[in-house]
Amino acid sequence: MNWVPVIWSVWGASVLLMAIVGMYVARLGKYEEDQIFLSDSSGHAQHEQAMIAMRRQKAKPLKMTAISLLGVTTMSVVAYYLLDVLRQFK
């Protein structure tokens, strides 16, 4: 069986997953603002920003998992081709 299409398909799927997770996390932080709330009168805005930050924190493990998966699949593609080069020179 030829493993090249399988390896590239898995790598492409991991790239697609990383792109989807990246867009999701970016969308979560779309309305996040960098500001300091000095008075208690802006409690509603402060609560909204805290909720956005909490959602982004919950998505962080998902993003790290997608990055790790992409790294592993990229390394497997590189390792396959390095082994192929070594086999050709034997």
pLDDT in tens, 34-82: 666 556 666 777 777 778 888 888 889 999 999 999 999 999 999 999 9
- Assess contact for 63 and 25: CB atoms under 8 A: yes
Residue closest to 67 by CA, chosen among 27, 25, 17: 17
Asked if residue 15 is part of any domain, the answer here is: no
Asked if residue 48 is part of any domain, the answer here is: yes
- Say if residue 2's pLDDT is above 90: no
Asked if residue 59 is part of any domain, the answer here is: yes
| pLDDT confidence tier of residue 84, bands split at 50, 70 and 90 | very high
- How many independent structural domains does the chain possess? 1
pLDDT at res. 87: 93
- Structure pTM? 0.76
Average pLDDT (15-42) is 78
Asked if residue 57 is part of any domain, the answer here is: yes
Domain of 26 in residue numbering reads as 21-88
